[in-house]
Amino acid sequence: MINLDNETIEFPCPRCGFYNAIVFKQARLRDVVICRGCKSNIQLDDQMNECRKAERAIRKAMQELEKTLKI
């Protein structure tokens, strides 16, 4: 089973544009991070549970790949 929680994601600060690195779990849990550029607080927002949907889609694709490779 694949675990995406520790995978790194980079995104630009909406205020200063500095790219910040977070892990997938922080986005999924809607964490607050501090921009390393301008030090402002950034509230992560997983609109409509997109992180969970993406994780589910990746798991499904990996399961289908495993089935294909076993043939």
Q: Which helix (H) or strand (E) holds 9?
A: strand 8-12
pTM of the prediction?
0.78
d(CA 54, CA 44): 16
Tokens 């607080």, residue located: 41
Please list the residues that pair with 42 across neighbouring strands.
Answer: 33
Tens of pLDDT, residues 25-67: 999 999 999 999 999 999 999 889 999 999 999 999 999 999 9
Strand 19-23 relative to strand 8-12: parallel, antiparallel, unpaired? antiparallel
Q: What is the pLDDT of residue 5?
A: 92
What is the CA angle 55-1-49, rounded to 5?
15
